[in-house]
Amino acid sequence: MKNIILTIVIALTAITATAQYKVDMGEKSPLRKLQIAELAITNLYVDSVDEQKLVEDAIKGMLEKLDPHSSYLNAKEVKSTNESLNGNFEGIGVQFNVMEDTMVVLQTITNGPSEKVGILAGDRIVAVDDTTIAGVKMSRDEIMRRLRGPKGTRVTLKVVRPDITDTLAFRITRDKIPMKSIDAAYMLRPELGYVRISSFGATTYDEFMECMNRLRSEGMKDLVLDLQENGGGYLAAGVDVANEFLNDGDLIVYTDGRNNSQRQYRATHDGSFTTGKVYLLVDSYTASAAEIVTGAIQDHDRGLVVGRRTFGKGLVQRPIPLPDGSMIRLTISHYYTPSGRCIQKPYTKGDNKDYSMDLSKRLKSGELTSADSVHFADSLKCYTLKKHRTVYGGGGIMPDHFVPLDTTRYTKFHRELVAKNIILNANLRYIDGHRKELKKAYPDFASFKKNYTVPQSVIDKVIAAGKDKGVTPKNDEELEMSIRQIRIQLKALVARDLWEMSEYFSVMNEENDVVKKVLELHEN
């Protein structure tokens, strides 16, 4: 018990030392009150209690009374978050899916440990060291736990390969595996490049510059920067990316808080892309660092924002690590776009449920289908810095060109097929049995995109598998509408499995209404 209290005190002391705050440790202080309560419960309560959980629940209880973005992460959650933001994890380097209780390799990471020893797409990994993982209904998380491990450690995989009778054994030395934060980068049209950033992590800027340099070498003059569904990440990464579109000294974002004096983030150099046209794609899930990039480019009149109103997260969190590997992410300030907008949407302290229902409310209010349903108070009005266009704070970033959500495109039948992984599993079986012939028939993506059509037999198998699981269309009209989307989705999935995610988005974006709007704007 003394150790736990000492841990809390040490953590608080470290925080206060960093923030230069004073903590009252006297007998009547709130901290002492908390200590006494924890001691009493642990030592006097009628039943035994889990001290660790007791402390965690107390921390969570305090944070829940604050804003919706202050949070507590246990050690496991911290590790997972750090992996995604730091851009790597340690493991064997394969992308896989589970088909009929068997792990099937979709792709190996280029120059990763598995590729180096000869693991191939289509291989079935049936055992890890001495543990069988095939046919035992092992969860995906448990499989990943067994495959991952510290760099330098070794693992033996038993592999079944199609067309080979004997089970193969591979001894693999785990290594750091890169996790890319850029999903796709390709030429959408001649002279018009496309880059999709999924999050802002430690490696995002380097990935972005690599993509930009490659696309410029392919003739890119204008850019589509897709930030749809980008939930943010590191503020610094967002600032670095925004810098590439602005001139030296331009304000990108500034932060201000009760105990944190104003801090400005400015462009530190002339960006590498300050003249070509820029189109930013956003939606209701575009948040945090992604909104910083969007706000900076919009406020400086550097590009056009296309899509739907962004999430509206204008709060900055400071990570406060705790001795057991857990962490508090505490909101310490607001951030403001160059025009002075704080785009944080309204919230009531302690009412996270209402806050989390905001996107549902947007749909019900008609906002996602009509720009006229979005209303901003005049008090939130600001102006862009060069053209002095009216923009608003207080609830996300409103696009310059609104694109309504097509609520009729994806039918209930299609959504249920997706939810039950029926389309994904059908693709997995198809690509598993036809990979070689597809590679031979389509040696490059250009010929695939132009000429490939998903066989009707695959569509029929999707419909049949849906029926087996009780998923059926209500009528022929819904079936026909669904088949069109199923066909596009399957073609994109096949492209992904034969090449990369860029090829997946290259197929899907041809039917994306927001991308279509950009093409319309770019042509006029």
Residues 6+ apart with CB under 8 A from 506: 184, 186, 188, 445, 449, 495
List of residues 6+ apart from 190 with CB closer than 8 A: 219
Q: Which residues are tagged catalytic? A: 288, 299, 313
Contact assessment for residue 198 and residue 229, using Cβ atoms and an 8 Å cutoff: yes
- φ, ψ of residue 274 to 5 degrees: the values are -105, 0
Give the list of residues 6+ apart from residue 358 with CB closer than 8 angstroms, or none: 312, 345
At 48, list the tokens.
């035994």
Residue 370: partners with Cβ closer than 8 Å, 6 or more residues away: 404
Residue 249 DSSP label: T
| Both tokens assigned to 175 | 């290594």
Q: Exposure string (b/e) for 194-225, b if CB count within 10 Å is 16 or more? A: bbbbbbbbbbbbebbeebbeebeeeebebbbb
Contact status, residue 114 vs residue 94, Cβ threshold 8 Å: yes
CB 221 within 8 A of CB 276: yes
Beta carbons of 128 and 168 less than 8 angstroms apart = no
**DSSP helix/strand/coil, 399:** coil
Q: Which SS3 state, helix, strand or coil, does residue 210 take?
A: helix
Q: Where would I find the beta strands (DSSP E) of 313-386?
A: 315-321, 327-336, 381-383
